[in-house]
Structure 1
Amino acid sequence: MSSALPPDDFERRLIIATQAGLPLVPRPYDVLAEQLGVDAALVKTRLAAMLQGGRIRRIGAVPNHYALGYTANGMSVWDVDDARIGELGEAVGHLDFVTHCYERPRALPDWPYNLFAMVHGRDRDTVLAHVEEIATLLGAACRARDVLFSSAILKKTGLRIGGDG
């Protein structure tokens, strides 16, 4: 849960400096420190505190799967027994070919699915083979499933704040 206090001036400048991504260099915190006029240790400490405090959710790479040759992207959706969704979702999320996995509420009667797992592959057959592996893992706890393939590349960005106040 995030803190109720607004970010201080340094946090705000740090957020603005990083919201489009870290610099793609061997020592990105050094570059940020130079931009902000501080020591790299302070950048690291404050980012860690912002993560711990819930002000930011994560620091991580966001690969462009298409540029890497993974052009078949399938969101597999599953109707999984609610009593086992935590355990099974965790297992699915640990599979090497699943990039993210999460629980969502059903929208009955039209949408019975409560577990979502994104699978990337170089072709649809590969994605479908991975979906079969997930089905085997879920076993009898899975009542229904489907795969929704991407039809377009969408620009992914999070919330942005302006630099002028």
Structure 2
Amino acid sequence: MIVSVVPSQAQEEHAAMSAAMSGATPGQFAPEPVDIPVIELVHPMPGFPSERRYTLVKLDDDGTLCALRSLEREDLEFVVVPPLTFYPAYAPEIGDDVVADLGVEQAADVLVLLIVHAGADLASTTVNLRAPLLVNLATRRAAQVLLDDPDLPVAAPLVA
């Protein structure tokens, strides 16, 4: 079974992500927060083999810009955004192996996030469409997934 996260689910994703955010402010670090939902990576992010526990932290008022913050290293976080605002037609298809790894039972449980590469200015800032971060909101299991679509860029402009 290949699951496709369709654009109509993007609005729900954004609302779910905002609801799942912690109240921590940028720069705060809580090594073992009790009230912050923990996201467990089933496979570590490339280059960070030991870090598997993260949380999402809002960086702006509406939750569009977020940090995926490590709970194991206070100096490690990835800026992420939901695709809806920037790429509303983005609907990645994920394979059976990812569905099994994350314990996905329905596509609506999958939160899609794009990892941001900050440029010198907004015009040179990019997102990775080829390797989104997928979070199962029901299990809080997550993985960065390399999609099989060679037409998806690893450095797409954040804004056109």
TM-score by length of 2: 0.25
Q: Which has the larger helix fraction?
A: 1
Q: Which has the larger strand fraction?
A: 2
Larger radius of gyration: 1
